[in-house]
Amino acid sequence: MAILSSPLQYLAAVPPVTRAWTAATVVSTLFYFWVAWKTHNDYAPYITLVPGSSIFYPWTFLSSALVETSIIELVITLIVIPASLRYLERLWGTIETIKFMVVSIVVSNIIAFAFNWIEFAATRNADLFLYGMQYHGQMSLLTAVLVAFTQVIPEHQVQIMGVIKTRVKQLPMAYLTFSTVMTIIGFQCPYIVIQFAWLVSWVWLRFYKKNTGDVVGGGDSYGDRSETFALIYWFPPFVHKPISVLANTTYALATKLHLIPVSGSDVESGGYSQVPGSARAEAERRRYAQS
C-alpha cells in the first residue's frame, strides 16, 4: 500500500497550476496526434496557431502552447517544464505563476502573428506567411522560465545531457542564439517565438510582476528594477551604450503614458529590493551582482 500511495503522494505535492498545465499538455498533444492520424494531415488551425486562421480561433494564442507535434518534443517538455513550473509556483504562488505563463505565451504569439501579417503585406505570399506556418509547443514558456531563473538563481550550475556544465544566467542567451540561427537558415516557425518570449518575459518580470510579502519597505511592489536585471546586461559590453539609450527612451515614454505600475517602495534607491520567495534566491542575486 505504501508503494502504491507514493506516486499519489507525489502528485498531491505538485502545485495545482503545474499539475493542471502538465495534464492539459498531455491531453492536447494526444488529441493532436489522434486528429493527425484520423485525417492523415498535421494541419490543425483550431488548436495550433496559424496566422491566417487564428483570427477565427482566438483561443489558439494560448492553446497552441499545449500542443507538441512529435513524441520527442513532448518528452523534452515533460522533463523540463513541470519541474520548472513547480519551482516557480512554490516561489511566487498560484496567481502570479498563471499571469506569468499566460502573458509570456499569449503576447509572444500575438507578436509572431503580427510579424507574419507584416511579412505577408510586404511579400503577398499568403501560402508561406499566413498558412504555411503553424506555431506550437512550449518554446515560449521555456524561454520565459529561463529568464525567470536568471532573475532568481543566476549562479546556479546545471548540467545539460550529463555533459555540458553551465550557469543558469547563460542559458537564455544561448537559447536565443539557437533561435536566431534556426530562423536565419529558414526555420522561422516556431523558433522565432523564442526571441519574442525572451523580451516579453523580461519586460513582465522587470516592470509588471507583483511582489508581495517579503518586499523591503513593506507593501506591494511591481517588477525588479535592480541593476543586475537591467536590459543591457543581457548583451556584450560593446552594445551597452546604444541599448541603454533605446531602453531609457522607451522607459521614459512608457512612464509618461502611465504604462508602468508604481511600486509601493522605491526599489531603485537601495540598489534593489529582495526578490520575494527565499533567502537562497536573494543570496544568488547578490552573488550575481558581484560577479
Cβ-based burial of 40 (10 A; exposed 0-12, middle 13-18, buried ≥19): exposed
User: Are 62 and 204 part of one and the same domain?
Assistant: yes
User: Are 156 and 263 part of one and the same domain?
Assistant: no
**What's the pLDDT at 3?**
47
**What's the pLDDT at 260?**
84
Q: CATH number, domain at 65?
A: 1.20.1540.10
User: Are 193 and 69 part of one and the same domain?
Assistant: yes
**What's the pLDDT at 30?**
96
What angle is formed at CA 163 by the lines to CA 157 and CA 164, rounded to 5 degrees? Answer: 50
User: Are 229 and 194 part of one and the same domain?
Assistant: no
Mean pLDDT by runs of 10 across the 291 residues of the chain is 51 84 96 92 92 94 95 94 94 94 97 96 94 94 95 82 78 91 92 95 93 60 85 86 89 87 50 44 48 44
The parent domain of residue 151 ranges over: 2-208
Residue with cell 496557431: 49
**Dihedral over Cα of 122, 190, 98, 57: its sign:** positive
User: Are 84 and 195 part of one and the same domain?
Assistant: yes
> Which of these three, 178, 208, 238, is where a domain ends?
208
Nearest to 261 by CA among 216, 203, 217, 178: 203
User: Are 65 and 107 part of one and the same domain?
Assistant: yes
C-alpha 285, offset from chain centre: 20
User: Are 238 and 260 part of one and the same domain?
Assistant: yes
Cβ-based burial of 265 (10 A; exposed 0-12, middle 13-18, buried ≥19): middle
User: Are 78 and 217 part of one and the same domain?
Assistant: no
126 CB neighbour count, 10 Å cutoff: 12
User: Are 279 and 251 part of one and the same domain?
Assistant: yes
Nearest to 126 by CA among 42, 57, 52: 52
User: Are 52 and 181 part of one and the same domain?
Assistant: yes
> Which of these three, 154, 180, 208, is where a domain ends?
208
User: Are 65 and 137 part of one and the same domain?
Assistant: yes
pTM of the predicted model as reported, rounded to 2 decimal places = 0.85
> Which of these three, 157, 183, 208, is where a domain ends?
208
Question: Number of folded domains in the chain?
Answer: 2
164: amino acid identity, one letter: I
User: Are 29 and 165 part of one and the same domain?
Assistant: yes
